[in-house]
Structure 1
Amino acid sequence: MAIDYQQLAVRIKQWAQELGFQELGITGTDLTKDEPKLQAWLDKGYHGDMQYMAEHGMLRARPAELLPGTLRVLSVRMDYLPAQAGFATNLADPAKAYISRYALGRDYHKLIRNRLKQLAQKIRTEIPELGFRPFVDSAPLLERPLAQQAGLGWVGKHSLLLEQSVGSWFFLGELLVDIPLPVDEPHQGDCGSCVACITSCPTGAIVEPYVVDGRRCISYLTIELKTAIPETLRPLIGNRIYGCDDCQLVCPENRQAPLSIEADFQRRPQWQDQNLLQLFAWDEATFLRLTEGSAIRRIGFERWQRNIAVALGNAPYQSEITDALQKARAHSSALVLEHIDWALAQQKRKSWQAANLLPRATERLVRIVQKGLPRDA
């Protein structure tokens, strides 16, 4: 009996929604047009220390080489914006830690991969011999161009996938399959003349529309970079200790972005209004316990301390910050120590400025008052 792939595609999309995906699109495997852009990005060294990007080379644009026999890519979207995102509260208070909103709940990799496997098993009820392989940031794959080809949105000037009225607060995943399903129409949206993400990036990482210099991106600096954060970029990081959402926060398409209905993506209690000093006081055992099942654990305790030390250096002067940094010097690694000493220098400079600017301001105020007094006063 011949398989009706048109009807199967309809059922696959229904199954995807039943499994918690907000959308599923189907595309082929041809990413030839994206290879020159990928090569140019690599040639400029924008991948920084992420050597796996260069090692895999054009494999990222060739899904069929990841799973021989692949005919289609099922691209899925799952919203992750938590109900209690706390954007303004965290970014407005430099004494509090800002963590990228995607990392406030459970690590999405395992959850989405398991859902994709369940989807494949449902397809196998129709096609027992189905060959498949799920991906969630777990292999070299240009997931955003694939998602655009599958109709899920367009690649914005900040390089993230965007969809009108949906925004960009969602994860992507892919299921490679070896069946000739009908493909969806590519998304034709674009950002128009908007450059909000480019002008708002704290470190100027979006060097031109659709091109991000990963070496300057705060997400790269706080998550991917394993060595010291360049000194010139440290002041620009502010209180962002894990990732950055600025380019998404200013994007007009995110004004009506839906909230996630996934319980696992909601903010965990330990990330509710935590100030930097509280987080810096964690020992490694506490860090491992409270980041269990979280994407944050992947950076390890050393880089966690490194990032918070930078944020403490950027915070307004407090004697408590200086005391905490000095105390941590005795048991910190060389990498963390470098950032602690930088933070101490920043705090010392701010302390000096506060001590010297206040008397000057007072003297100026006195002169202004005296100048305005009557002659016989």
Structure 2
Amino acid sequence: MDVAQLKSDIIAYAHTIGIDSIGFTTADPFDELKQKLIDYHANGYASGFEPTDIEMRTNPKLSMSSARSIIAIAVGYPNRLPNVPKSKRGERRGIFARASWGQDYHSIMRKRLEALGEYIKSRVPEVEMMSMVDTGVLSDRAVAERAGLGYTGRNGFVINPDLGTWTYLGEMLVSIPFPPDDPIMDSCGSCTICVERCPTGALVGDGQLNSQKCVSFLTQTKGYMPDQYRYKIGNRLYGCDTCQQVCPKNRGINTQHDDIVLEPEILKPRLIPLLQMSNKAFKETYGHLAGAWRGKKPIQRNAILALAHFKEKEAVPELKAVAENDARPMIRATAYWAIGQILEDEAEAYILSRYDSEIEEVQIEMKKGLEMRRL
């Protein structure tokens, strides 16, 4: 078997199925990553969403013992929304992060990896393969970097020369010993704009992220939003793109794919209708987005915070309905808090009239609503 020719054929085929960038590396352990992960957890930066077994994360052969190579792929996604609806008084809107625009990227990437796998198997029937997208144990970014798809910037994203940071990443372990590609030797130089513009100071500065402070992570949590971050969320319903939006390497890049369909009214939705949306309606409207993976509770909480951010008085009747009728204490409590933030002193009579009928955890937020001011 001419492995070099097969590699060339795979690259050519990949571009016909919507893979924008492809690279090859060995299945050797990611020794440099191991210490970074140890420090990441020791510093309390972990989000809790990522796998915790560092050996599994850094040794590909623990996932597939026959692995000889890893094929890394990147698919660019759009970052500009056409016909973007305006957010205005009475119709304030939230926003989903760009990685959640269109069909859930896990399914988009799996389809491409499946097609790529079928092609490789048609050429080498005895090949063994294992694909991963985001939820696999390996670090997509570490694999992509070593396979030459880009270098890790200060914002922690892989910066691809053609796609910038606006990419979905995935990889495939294969039992074929392909010639590895060389990593891209580049850097952010003296640029620190992403670190400076991060809303919560979550970027450590060397490509590491303190997930506990990251707005993207915070929007996906299900509990109460910590006080110091409530006004940092802005109108974000899911995720945060600030460190990518300000990156100079992303200028002029806006990759399009036919299977990434943009729906402006869904991706930048009106906030008030979200507050009392049923589970069924939420799944029907947003279930196809990656941003819906945690369910409607975080989205509804974030919508309430966004209304407080906008000081949206027109939303107060709806917020009162949520505060008085929602069965979930955290949602009721956040609604009371938002009413206090929007109406300020005018909210006191209403909140005090409801105070004794509420449980203690809700009462705590009712007090905050009257006492706390924008941080």
Which residue number corresponds to residue 8 of structure 1?
Answer: 6
Q: Deviations over 1:166-206 (max 9, x none)?
A: 21111001011011011111111111111111011111111
State the distance in 2 between where 1:105 and 1:350 align.
Answer: 42
1:145-164 equivalences under 5 Å are 145-164=142-161
Preserved CA contact (<8 Å) 2:109 2:170 = yes
CA deviation map 1:294-319 (0-9, x unaligned):
2122111222211111111211241x
Aligned partner of residue 299 in structure 1, secondary structure = coil
- 2:287 and 2:6 map into 1 onto residues whose CA distance is 38
Judging changes above 3 Å, is the alpha-carbon distance between structure 1 residues 135 and 272 closer, same or farther for their aligned structure 2 residues?
closer
Letter paired with 1:193 = S
Q: Could you tell me which residue of structure 2 aligns to residue 177 of structure 1?
A: 174
TM-score w.r.t. structure 1 length? 0.86
Contact 2:95 2:268 in 1 (8 A): no
SS of the residue 1:75 aligns to: strand
Q: Any conservation in 1 of the 2:96–2:268 contact (CA below 8 Å)? A: no
Aligned equivalents of 2:267, 2:176: Cα separation in 1 = 46
What residue in structure 1 maps to residue 248 of structure 2? 252
Contact 1:104 1:271 in 2 (8 A): no
SS at match of 1:73: strand
Q: What do the CA deviations read for 1:10-36 (whole angstroms, capped 9, x no partner)?
A: 001011111110111000123111111
Counterpart in the other structure of 2:236: 240
Tell me by how many angstroms 1:94 deviates.
9.9
Q: Quick one: which amino acid aligns to residue 247 of structure 1?
A: C
* Coordinate RMSD, CA, aligned: 2.3
One-letter identity of the residue aligned with 1:212 = L
2:332 paired with 1:337:
yes
- The Cα of 1:112 is off from its aligned counterpart by 1.0
- Alpha-carbon distance in structure 2 between the residues aligned to 1:140 and 1:87: 37
Is residue 231 of structure 1 aligned with residue 223 of structure 2?
Answer: no
User: Stretches of 4+ moved more than 3 A in 1?
Assistant: 85-91
Whether the 8 Å CA contact 1:157–1:195 is kept in 2: the answer is: yes
- Find the counterpart in structure 2 of residue 315 from structure 1: 310
Counterpart-to-counterpart distance in 1, 2:280 and 2:222? 20
Q: Quickly say closer, same or farther: Cα 1:145–1:279, change in 2 above 3 A.
A: same
Which residue number corresponds to residue 193 of structure 2?
A: 196
The residue that corresponds to 2:102 in the other structure is 105
Partner of 1:131: 128
Shifted more, 192-201 versus 272-281: the winner is: 272-281
Name the stretch that deviates more: 30-39 or 77-86.
77-86
User: Does the 8 Å contact 1:90/1:98 carry over to 2?
Assistant: no
Bigger drift between 329-338 and 178-187 goes to 329-338
Which whole-Å deviations, capped at 9, do the CAs of 1:219-255 have from their partners, x for residues lacking one?
11112x2322211111111111110100000000111
Task: Write the distance in 2 (CA, Å) between the matches of 1:144 and 1:272.
Answer: 26
- 1:22 — aligned with what? 20
Pair 1:277-2:275 in alignment: no
The one-letter code matched in structure 2 to 1:28 is: T
Unaligned runs of 5+ in 2: 348-375
Q: Find the aligned partners of 1:85 and 1:350 in 2 and give their Cα distance.
A: 40
1:288 to 283, 297, 303: 283
Residue number in structure 1 paired with 2:362: none
- Residue identity matched to 2:170: G
Deviation at 1:271, TM superposition (A): 2.0
Identity of aligned residues (%): 29
Which one-letter code corresponds to 1:41 in the other structure? Y
Q: How far apart, CA to CA, are the structure 2 residues paired with 1:280 and 1:32? A: 47
What pairs up with 1:8-157 in 2 under 5 angstroms? Answer: 8-30=6-28, 31-50=30-49, 52-54=50-52, 56-81=53-78, 84=81, 95-157=92-154
Cα 1:350–1:88 shift into 2, 3 Å = farther
Identify the structure with the greater helix proportion.
1
For the residues of structure 2 that align with 1:104 and 1:350, how far apart are their CA atoms? 39
Higher-Rg member (1/2): 1
Single out whichever of 162-171 and 39-48 deviates more from structure 2. Answer: 162-171
Say which is worse superposed, 158-167 or 100-109, in terms of deviation.
158-167
Q: Distance in 2 between matches of 1:63 and 1:212?
A: 23
Cα deviation, 1:262-316, whole Å, max 9, x if unaligned, reads 2332312532652222333422221111013221221112222111111112112
Aligned pair in 2 of structure 1 residues 48, 123: CA closer, same or farther (>3 Å)?
A: closer
Contact 1:94 1:316 in 2 (8 A): no
Assess, with a 3 A threshold, how the Cα gap between structure 1 residues 351 and 156 changes in structure 2: closer, same or farther. farther
Amino acid at match of 2:295: G
- Given the two structures, how large is their TM-score scaled by the length of structure 2? 0.86
Task: Give how far 1:210 is off.
Answer: 1.0
Paired AA for residue 316 in structure 2: T
Q: Aligned-pair distance for 1:148?
A: 1.1
Structure 1 unaligned blocks of 5 or more:
353-377
Distance in 2 separating the partners of 1:166 and 1:75: 15
Could you say what secondary structure the match of 2:170 adopts?
A: strand
Alignment partner of 1:349 out of 334, 344, 354: 344
